[in-house]
Amino acid sequence: MIAVRGLITGKVQRVWFRRYVEEVAAKLNLTGYARNLPDGSVEVLLCGPADAVAAGQAEVEKGPPASRVDSADWHAAAIDPASVEGFTVS
């Protein structure tokens, strides 16, 4: 189990981006969150098995059709992935 946090920039607000990430997480059985930040970016936390998290990162970087991902900066998250329950959107 691993946890990664990503800062996603581009046209990622008001294009159903967070809901898309939520759907990706549900499909891959990942936990975490997606939340809008004041600067127009989206912060994403993905927790789960390494292969599923990698697949989730790839899907997040594609984004939904109305979005445009300019960059996705991923780092290992200093959190116990087992302590994160469910997936939240805020």
CATH number at residue 65: 3.30.70.100
Identify the band that residue 80 occupies on the pLDDT scale cut at 50, 70 and 90: very high
11 belongs to a structural domain? yes
44 Cβ partners below 8 Å, 6+ apart?
5, 6, 8, 21, 32, 33, 34, 60
Residue 20: which domain range? 2-81
Which pLDDT value is given to residue 10?
98
Order of all β-strands in the sheet with 31-36: 68-76, 2-11, 42-48, 31-36, 87-89
* pLDDT value of position 84: 96
User: 62 lies in a domain?
Assistant: yes
Q: Is residue 9 domain-resident?
A: yes
In this prediction, what percent of the chain has a pLDDT beyond 70?
100
Confirm whether 88 is domain-assigned: no
Q: What digits encode the pLDDT tens for the residues 15-49?
A: 999 999 999 999 999 999 999 999 999 999 999 99
φ, ψ of residue 2 in degrees (nearest 5): -135, 165
Contacts of 79 (CB under 8 A, 6+ apart): 3, 45, 47
pLDDT score recorded for residue 51: 98
Tally of domains in the chain? 1
Catalytic residue numbers? 18, 36
